[in-house]
């Protein structure tokens, strides 16, 4: 039996950094034990569908990496990333309207590492950081451990509210100015929103005027269901401010469009910031797996990426429609949500009878959902602790991993859970 299982205190407990004395784990990963229950249907995790993994294409890419680039694949590599992958990623960025060269790029072990490096380089304890809310929980977790002062910026059905941000900045109550703002403008996690072009321009202008960096996290931008995706914030910053003064740092990943296990992310930033993030990476993992990088490079050059992406968009669109149409049909005016135009998530809010809102009902709903065999992520996970009032009856639903029949059954179980919680 381990110390953790026995309940004994760790012999190193007195040595812990105070930040890790009583640490809070990821609220999403803490739901994992429920997944082992027989028959459980999950709308919780933001996992891509295993049916869309191109195992054959990745196998060919792995063979090519080991046959053609064996020494480079199995040796240590440059902290900045392997040049063949950076070339391939620069070409991929160009299809998104993002103009860059390999020199503008740092390859990271997933885009979460890229954000962690940025926080290490830019944020000191007590620094205010602007975050759109609701927000990805790992972002909040990273900032909390960095002892940042998290300042919530509200969102609506179109994403980050730039008018509210401008009002906040015009009456800034804090001594220190914000250093950065975190946003997911394309099909956000958890909101599923798409930031309009006018708001992108306004956001870049605000960053330029007030001197903060925008962290544009873009893992979902290619998972669009129509042709209405806006230019990236990074590209908007280049147009409005010029490359040398572009306030946007661009993060992206192959986790949602190729395979999470590759752990391939990347960052685009100015040379000075990129250099400092590279040094920070050297103290973390030295370099992202060269083998994974060269597999990804061969895959991106194989011609298989675009058709597989189109297949993923079509499949996710069908699953999204099953979820949204099912919620509307089964629950009607008892639930409110915005039908997303891309990505992997629906953000929904329950609308209880008058006098029934509150944390008690939220807890009863989650308990009932587990009993009915369906899992979702409660809304409070996506807010800082001091910005969560009223979030308990919100939830993030992911339609990416379950099949259409599973989604249909999951919605029916949610409906039964709602009735059970109200009774």
What is the structure's pLDDT at 282? 97
pLDDT in tens, 71-91: 999 999 999 999 999 999 999
Quote the number of domains for the chain: 2
Residue 329 and residue 193 share a domain: no
The answer to whether the beta carbons of residues 295 and 61 sit under 8 Å apart is: yes
Residue 5 has pLDDT above 90, yes or no: no
Report the predicted TM-score, pTM, of the whole model to 2 decimal places. Answer: 0.94
In a domain, residue 393? The reply is yes
- 3-class SS of residue 378: strand
- 3-class SS of residue 216: strand
What is the structure's pLDDT at 385? 79
Residue 389 pLDDT grade (very low, low, confident, very high; cuts 50, 70, 90): low
Q: How many CB atoms lie within 10 A of CB 16?
A: 12
The answer to whether the beta carbons of residues 281 and 108 sit under 8 Å apart is: yes
As a whole number of angstroms, the distance between CA 297 and CA 300 comes to 5
Residue 21 has pLDDT above 80, yes or no: no
Residue 153 and residue 84 share a domain: yes
Residue 146 and residue 107 share a domain: yes
Domain boundary among 274, 301, 328: 301
Separation in Å, CA 138 to CA 5, 144, 188, 380: 26, 10, 14, 13
Q: How many CB atoms lie within 10 A of CB 236?
A: 24
What is the structure's pLDDT at 356? 72
Residue 319 pLDDT grade (very low, low, confident, very high; cuts 50, 70, 90): very high
Alpha helices in 232-304 (DSSP H): 233-241, 271-282, 290-301
In a domain, residue 239? The reply is yes
Residue 407 and residue 271 share a domain: no
Residue 277 and residue 166 share a domain: yes
Give the strand pairing for 377-378 and 394-398.
Answer: antiparallel
Identity of the highest mean pLDDT range in 2-16, 24-38, 238-252, 262-276: 262-276
Residue 31 and residue 178 share a domain: no
In a domain, residue 5? The reply is no
Phi-psi region of 211 (alpha: psi -120 to 50; beta: other; left: phi over 0): left
Phi and psi, residue 252, nearest 5°: -155, 180
Residue 124 and residue 105 share a domain: yes
As a whole number of angstroms, the distance between CA 344 and CA 113 comes to 21
What is the structure's pLDDT at 152? 96
The answer to whether the beta carbons of residues 218 and 252 sit under 8 Å apart is: yes
In a domain, residue 18? The reply is no
The parent domain of residue 319 ranges over: 25-53+307-422
Residue 410 and residue 368 share a domain: yes
Enter the tokens of residue 62.
Answer: 């792995």
Residue 118 and residue 224 share a domain: yes
In a domain, residue 327? The reply is yes
- Look up the CATH number of the domain holding residue 205: 3.40.640.10
Domain boundary among 259, 284, 301: 301
Residue 181 and residue 120 share a domain: yes
pLDDT in tens, 328-381: 999 999 999 999 999 999 999 999 988 677 788 999 999 999 999 999 999 999
**Percentage of the chain surpassing pLDDT 90?**
83
pLDDT in tens, 25-81: 666 777 778 888 899 999 998 899 999 999 999 999 999 999 999 999 999 999 999
Domain boundary among 277, 301, 325: 301
Residue 233 and residue 128 share a domain: yes
Give the strand pairing for 128-133 and 149-156.
Answer: parallel
pLDDT in tens, 219-255: 999 999 998 678 899 999 999 998 779 999 999 999 9
- 3-class SS of residue 57: helix
Mean pLDDT of the chain: 93
Q: What angle do CA 108, 110, 115 make, to 5 degrees?
A: 75
What is the structure's pLDDT at 370? 95
In a domain, residue 357? The reply is yes
Q: Examine residue 190 and say whether the peptide bond preceding it is cis (omega within 30 degrees of 0).
A: yes
Q: Examine residue 134 and say whether the peptide bond preceding it is cis (omega within 30 degrees of 0).
A: yes
**Percentage of the chain surpassing pLDDT 70?**
95
Report DSSP state, residue 172.
-
Residue 238 and residue 117 share a domain: yes
| 180-197: b (≥16 Cβ within 10 Å) or e | bbbbbbbbbbbbbbbbee
């Amino acid at each position: 039996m381990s110390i953790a299982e026995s309940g004994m205190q760790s012999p190193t407990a007195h040595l812990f950094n105070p930040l890790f004395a009583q640490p809070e784990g990821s609220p999403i990963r803490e739901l994992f034990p429920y997944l082992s229950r027989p028959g459980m249907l999950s709308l919780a995790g933001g996992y891509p569908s295993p049916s869309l993994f191109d195992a054959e294409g990745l196998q060919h890419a792995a063979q090519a990496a080991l046959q053609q680039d064996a020494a480079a694949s199995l040796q240590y590599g440059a902290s900045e990333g392997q040049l063949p992958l950076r070339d391939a990623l620069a070409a991929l960025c160009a299809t998104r309207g993002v103009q860059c060269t390999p020199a503008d790029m740092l390859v990271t072990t997933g885009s979460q590492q890229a954000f962690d490096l940025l926080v290490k380089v830019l944020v000191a304890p007590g620094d205010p950081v602007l975050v759109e809310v609701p927000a990805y929980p790992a972002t909040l977790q990273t900032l909390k451990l960095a002892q940042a002062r998290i300042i919530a910026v509200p969102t609506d059905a179109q994403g980050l509210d730039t008018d509210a941000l401008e009002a906040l900045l015009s009456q800034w109550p804090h001594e220190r100015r914000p250093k950065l703002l975190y946003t997911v403008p394309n099909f956000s996690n958890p909101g599923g929103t798409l930031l309009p072009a006018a708001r992108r321009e306004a956001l870049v202008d605000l960053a330029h005027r007030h001197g903060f960096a925008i962290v544009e996290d873009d893992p979902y931008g290619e998972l669009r269901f129509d042709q209405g995706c806006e230019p990236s914030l990074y590209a908007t910053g280049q147009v409005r401010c010029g490359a040398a003064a572009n306030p946007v740092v661009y993060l992206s990943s192959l986790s949602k469009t190729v395979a999470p296990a590759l752990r391939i992310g990347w960052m685009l930033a100015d040379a000075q910031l990129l250099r400092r993030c590279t040094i920070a990476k050297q103290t973390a993992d030295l370099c992202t797996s060269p083998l994974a990088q060269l597999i990804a490079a061969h895959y991106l050059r194989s011609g298989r990426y675009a058709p597989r992406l189109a297949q993923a968009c079509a499949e996710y669109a069908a699953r999204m429609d099953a979820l949204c149409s099912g919620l509307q049909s089964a629950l009607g005016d008892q639930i409110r949500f915005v039908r997303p135009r891309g990505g992997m998530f629906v953000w929904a809010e329950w609308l209880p009878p008058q006098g029934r809102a509150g944390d008690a009902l939220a807890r009863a709903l989650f308990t009932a959902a587990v009993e009915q065999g369906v899992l979702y992520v409660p809304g409070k996970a996506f807010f800082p602790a001091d910005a969560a009032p009223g979030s308990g009856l919100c939830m993030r639903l992911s339609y990416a991993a379950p099949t259409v029949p599973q989604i249909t059954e999951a919605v029916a179980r949610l409906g039964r859970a709602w009735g059970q919680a109200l009774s």
